Amino acid sequence: MKIRVIGLVSVLVVFASLYSGCKQDPPAFDLEASGYPDEIGQIILTNCAVSGCHNSASSHAAAGLDLSSWESCMRGDRNGAVVIPYSHEYSTMFMFCNTYADLGVSVEPTMPFNGDPLTRTQVIQLRDWINSGAPSRDGTVAFADNSSREKYYVTNQGCDVVTVVDAATGLAMRYIHVGSSFQIESPHGLRISPDGQYWYVCFSNGSYLEKYRTSDDAFVGRVLLGADVSAGFGSWNTFSITPDGRYAFVVHWSTVTDGRIAKVDLQTMQFVAVYGSSIFVQTHGSAISPDGNWLYVTTTSGNYIFKFDVNDISNFDQIIIDGVSPLPLNNSSENGHEIAFAPDGSKYFITCSGTNNIRVFDFATTH
């Protein structure tokens, strides 16, 4: 019996010795190969890109987000981009990792999932990295390698932001803050110049037309169009650019007889003139004919559109949308909202909010 007791004690001692020496090894990673800067790689590779979470082997079960390298991080997940260079406030990776209200928005579930939250220092490091462009180890900033990259723009009326989307991947690549005021101005109309060098934006709660470069989306300038006397802000919803890129005609919307059309020289970003009329009620959509001679403007409270002589906007006619209804023009059966020309210029299309129709006009016969 004594021998058995000694043997059992020996076994327990050996087992305890082995157990005390067994611990979970830290995640194995190659910091340099990951492409992340050192301090950012340490945070992501030890907290996020681990087994069962956002590494290459497990990403398919984690929204498709693979954070094992800088390149895979910039590809985002099945919902889109997770890091927007220069904009931590729109980067979901920051939101899920942040647990400090004073540092920005927090989103649940907090990441790392079922793990200890990142420290305040780590969250600040992530924030500052993203705001500096979220560069790779060698200083590369995502989407900055090609200034002629195909992209498209989306206005966000609730936060005075324009989202720049990479056409090839469908990923949001930049968020550009627009507007000139402390209050929400609601970017509404956006168009790209005929030569593709600039994009312009106007505001449904503002009085400016702004100009940005397409190569780097940098601000170029703005021009004051005029303001509502009562509110201090206008409602300049849409605009059209002449085929030569020289002028823009910006349309003002109003619930009263206060519709206006402003002409702007886009080369100098100078206000040229404004024209208004008591029958311009809720003017909204606009388009210039491909020959550059005619400006068409819709009204959202009638069965007609206006056709202006581009060289003399005080000279205009009306076109009945349904082709049969008589005057008065304020017959609200159609309510034209937006208008656009076909690429070949042979037709133009009017969306009608009153009837949920799209009216198609032959330009040659309704010219």
Q: What digits encode the pLDDT tens for the residues 138-166?
A: 999 999 999 889 999 999 999 999 999 99
User: Percent of the chain, pLDDT > 90?
Assistant: 64
pLDDT at 125: 98
Residues β-bridged to residue 286? 297
Confidence of residue 7 (pLDDT cuts 50, 70, 90): very low
Task: Out of 141-150, 169-178, 314-323, pick the least confident.
Answer: 314-323
Q: Please check the confidence at residue 8 and state whether its pLDDT lies above 60.
A: no
Alpha-carbon distance 282 to 285, whole Å?
10
- Pick 230 or 213 by higher pLDDT: 213
Residue 302 tokens read as 């009638």
Q: Please check the confidence at residue 9 and state whether its pLDDT lies above 70.
A: no
pLDDT at 4: 39
Alpha-carbon distance 159 to 30, whole Å?
40
Phi-psi domain of 104 (left: phi exceeds 0; alpha: psi -120 through 50; beta: other): left
Confidence of residue 51 (pLDDT cuts 50, 70, 90): confident
Helix (H) or strand (E) holding 308: strand 304-309
Q: Please check the confidence at residue 258 and state whether its pLDDT lies above 80.
A: no
Q: Please check the confidence at residue 247 and state whether its pLDDT lies above 90.
A: yes
Query: How are strands ordered across the β-sheet holding 283-288?
Result: 283-288, 294-299, 304-309, 312-320
Delineate the domains of the chain, giving CATH numbers in brackets: 31-131 (no CATH), 151-362 (2.130.10.10)
pLDDT at 19: 31
Cβ contact 159:184 at 8 Å: yes
Distances (CA, A) of 111 to 38, 93, 96, 98, 256: 20, 9, 6, 8, 52
Confidence of residue 331 (pLDDT cuts 50, 70, 90): low
Q: What is the pLDDT of residues 181-213, one digit of tens each?
A: 778 999 999 999 999 999 999 999 989 999 999
Helix (H) or strand (E) holding 102: none
- Pick 51 or 211 by higher pLDDT: 211
Q: Which residues contact 124 (CB under 8 A, 6 or more apart)?
A: 103
Q: What is the pLDDT of residues 75-102, one digit of tens each?
A: 999 999 999 999 999 999 999 999 999 9
| Residue with tokens 């349309």, as numbered in its chain | 251
Helix (H) or strand (E) holding 327: none
pLDDT at 63: 87
pLDDT at 15: 28
pLDDT at 136: 97
**Is the bond into 326 cis (omega within 30 degrees of 0)?**
no
pLDDT at 233: 65
Confidence of residue 305 (pLDDT cuts 50, 70, 90): very high
Confidence of residue 325 (pLDDT cuts 50, 70, 90): low
Q: Please check the confidence at residue 2 and state whether its pLDDT lies above 60.
A: no
User: Percent of the chain, pLDDT > 70?
Assistant: 87
Q: Taken in order 179, 184, 185, 189, is the CA torsion positive or negative? A: positive
Residues β-bridged to residue 124? none
Alpha-carbon distance 348 to 367, whole Å?
10
Residues in the chain: 367
98: number of Cβ within 10 Å: 26
Alpha-carbon distance 160 to 198, whole Å?
19
Confidence of residue 367 (pLDDT cuts 50, 70, 90): low
Q: What is the pLDDT of residues 52-68, one digit of tens each?
A: 889 888 788 788 999 99
Q: Please check the confidence at residue 231 and state whether its pLDDT lies above 50.
A: no
Q: Please check the confidence at residue 238 and state whether its pLDDT lies above 80.
A: yes
The overall average pLDDT reported for the chain is 86
